[in-house]
Amino acid sequence: MNTPTFESAKAAGIETVAVIGLGYIGLPTAAILATNGLKVIGVDVSSATVEAVNRGEVPFVEPDLGTSVAGAVAQGFLRAQKETPAADAFIVAVPTPFQADKSADLSYIEDAARAIAPQLRGGELIILESTSPPQTTAHMAQVVLEARPDLSLDGSEGRPAVLFAHCPERVLPGRVMIELVTNDRIVGGLNAGAAAAATALYKVFCKGEILETDATTAELSKLVENAYRDVNIAFANELSVVSKNLGVDVWELIELANHHPRVNILQPGPGVGGHCIAVDPWFIVAADPENARLIRTAREVNDSKPQRVVEQILEPLDGNGAPTIAALGLAFKPNIDDMRESPAVDIVHKLATQRPDAKILVVTPHSKVLPKKLEGFTNITSATAEEAIAAADVVALLVDHDKFREIDTATLAGKHVVDTRGFWHIRDNE
Ligand SMILES: NC(=O)c1ccc[n+]([C@@H]2O[C@H](COP(=O)([O-])OP(=O)(O)OC[C@H]3O[C@@H](n4cnc5c(N)ncnc54)[C@H](O)[C@@H]3O)[C@@H](O)[C@H]2O)c1
């Protein structure tokens, strides 16, 4: 375990840090460096974000971040601006969404690199924290050095060196301020000097182990962690489809199989959502399409699960007139409002499109607004769980929010129930 110390960064010549991108990852990182005594300048293209941070406010919800940002701004250790300044170290935490062909959009990283380049004097450390395909750190270095041919990676030919490293982030939203400190960190340098400098910077706040490697291994490690989860969930989801076809209860099957001392099958669900597990494995597939066969198949299995759920919901309704469907939950996981890449949203969208005559009552206990994807559908309405269940022919449990524990299961009697999470342990044929 490390003992965090500001001195480690100082010894590596780092006293000012520019954090580029003040979102869910960049702002907590900026705040934690600033509260540990470094001078931090946060940079964002969004004026609203810059203004909010300079008022000591956080433009999104993350426990404990508000206090940290307000304190750091009030004490003069953190300020935000739109222009990239000169600094001893730069941390890039901009978005890396996937494009229509499932490859990563690197344009945000390239823009950040082009803005950093004119500020360099030589000797700086540039860390890429955005989740990135293999070799993106090298690509970022190339963009910087193309703009600054007077600098180099290794100080050769009298050109001062700039250090580049990739340090992926694996914090859990909702626990970011804790996990930034306690999680182990992987630090991958384009060379050993870059890895050592990045380690010195993370030692300022990280109590976990800091593990040094090369940049490509670090890039791949983040993607592999999420692909591992995706493949294991796909196995459970595939079992749920096979079990249904064979008339077997998948929850009982998995419970029994997990009595084996070396078997631990995950629980199936309506699909996989969120901006990490449903996205990152595609970056591996794009990097080696011929060989990443299992990873691709897992993505396809998980992406096909929402349509299976739609079929389960609609199957008993054929020819029965315009049905009413209660859809319980839209978030991508329980007890949050985040609907990004959510399979539940996909299921409701598919239901509304495939059965335009159906009335769909959606229940979202953690959010008052419907996601953009469901806007404009006249057959989708928000309701309470009680209203939706009372009116419904089919009740589809899509998210295992704790709030749904309050539902009186007696109200489900006589309804066709599709329980995608094994929440009520009601067998399909009951
Ligand atoms: N949110 C998470 O839980 C999480 C976890 C691990 C890794 N990541 C990765 O971290 C990276 C950032 O994710 P996030 O959730 O913080 O994104 P985000 O959308 O919350 O924040 C990104 C910020 O960058 C700003 N930005 C975009 N282009 C910019 C530019 N050229 N210069 C300055 N600012 C710019 C945006 O305005 C935004 O405020 C992504 O690669 C993501 O995959 C996120």
Provide mean pLDDT across the span 23-46: 97
Using the mean position of ligand 1's atoms as its centre, give its distance from the Cα of residue 93 in Å: 5
- Residue closest via CA to ligand 1's atom 44 equals 25
Q: What pLDDT, on the 0 to 100 scale, is given for residue 335?
A: 86
Nearest atom in ligand 1 to 173's CA = 3
Structure tokens at 421: 């999470």
Using the mean position of ligand 1's atoms as its centre, give its distance from the Cα of residue 302 in Å: 25
Using the mean position of ligand 1's atoms as its centre, give its distance from the Cα of residue 129 in Å: 9
DSSP 194-225: HHHHHHHHHTTT--S-EEEEEHHHHHHHHHHH
Is the pLDDT at 27 greater than 90, yes or no? yes
Pick the closest to residue 345 from 373, 380, 386 (CA basis).
373
Characterise 392 by phi-psi region: left (phi > 0), alpha (psi -120 to 50), beta (else): beta
**206 an active-site residue?**
no
Q: What pLDDT, on the 0 to 100 scale, is given for residue 62?
A: 86
Secondary structure of residue 347 in the 3-state scheme: helix
Separation CA 103–CA 321 (nearest Å): 43
Let me know: does 280 contact 222? Beta carbons within 8 Å.
Answer: yes
β-sheet bridge partners, residue 78: 40
Greater pLDDT, 201 or 341? 201
Using the mean position of ligand 1's atoms as its centre, give its distance from the Cα of residue 26 in Å: 7
* Catalytic, out of 276, 305, 333, 359: 276
Pick the closest to residue 129 from 202, 69, 61, 79 (CA basis).
202
- Residue closest via CA to ligand 1's atom 33 equals 44
Q: What is the mean pLDDT of the chain?
A: 94
Nearest atom in ligand 1 to 25's CA = 16
Nearest atom in ligand 1 to 176's CA = 3
Nearest atom in ligand 1 to 171's CA = 5
Let me know: does 26 contact 98? Beta carbons within 8 Å.
Answer: no
Structure tokens at 10: 């100082």
Provide mean pLDDT across the span 323-349: 93
Q: What pLDDT, on the 0 to 100 scale, is given for residue 286?
A: 94
C-alpha 2: how far from chain center: 26
Let me know: does 169 contact 187? Beta carbons within 8 Å.
Answer: no
Let me know: does 98 contact 279? Beta carbons within 8 Å.
Answer: yes
Residue 21 CB partners (closer than 8 Å, separation 6+) = 43, 44, 92, 93, 94, 95, 108, 112, 130
Provide mean pLDDT across the span 84-100: 95
Residues with CB under 6 Å of ligand 1 are 20-26, 43-46, 49, 93-96, 108, 111-112, 130-131, 169, 171, 173, 276
DSSP 21-84: --STTHHHHHHHHHHTT-EEEEE-S-HHHHHHHHTT--SS--TTHHHHHHHHHHTTSEEEESS-
Is the pLDDT at 319 greater than 80, yes or no? no
Separation CA 288–CA 300 (nearest Å): 16
| DSSP label of 100 | T
Q: What pLDDT, on the 0 to 100 scale, is given for residue 430?
A: 44
CA dihedral 79, 84, 90, 92 (to 10 degrees): 100
Provide mean pLDDT across the span 170-178: 91
Q: What pLDDT, on the 0 to 100 scale, is given for residue 7?
A: 81
Pick the closest to residue 345 from 388, 374, 304 (CA basis).
374
Share of the chain above pLDDT 90, in %: 87
Using the mean position of ligand 1's atoms as its centre, give its distance from the Cα of residue 50 in Å: 14
Q: What is the pLDDT of residues 100-154, one digit of tens each?
A: 888 899 999 999 999 999 999 999 999 999 999 999 999 999 999 999 999 999 9
Is the pLDDT at 2 greater than 80, yes or no? no
Share of the chain above pLDDT 70, in %: 97
β-sheet bridge partners, residue 104: 98
Q: Which of 44, 82, 332 to mutate to test the pocket of ligand 1 (most atoms within 8 A of CB)?
A: 44
Place of tokens 């990443």: 292
Q: Which of 62, 94, 103 to mutate to test the pocket of ligand 1 (most atoms within 8 A of CB)?
A: 94
Let me know: does 83 contact 9? Beta carbons within 8 Å.
Answer: no
Q: CA triplet 20, 23, 24: central angle to 5 degrees? A: 130
Separation CA 256–CA 246 (nearest Å): 16
Pick the closest to residue 234 from 163, 300, 319 (CA basis).
300
Provide mean pLDDT across the span 385-389: 97
Nearest atom in ligand 1 to 46's CA = 37
* Catalytic, out of 167, 206, 222, 305: 222
Q: How far is CA 89 from CA 25, 85, 123, 128, 222, in A?
A: 17, 11, 9, 11, 22
Separation CA 424–CA 409 (nearest Å): 8
Please report which confidence band the pLDDT of residue 195 belongs to, taking 50, 70 and 90 as the band edges. very high
Q: What is the largest CA-CA distance in the chain?
A: 80
Domains and CATH numbers, the chain: 6-208 (3.40.50.720), 261-419 (3.40.50.720)
Using the mean position of ligand 1's atoms as its centre, give its distance from the Cα of residue 49 in Å: 12
**167 an active-site residue?**
no
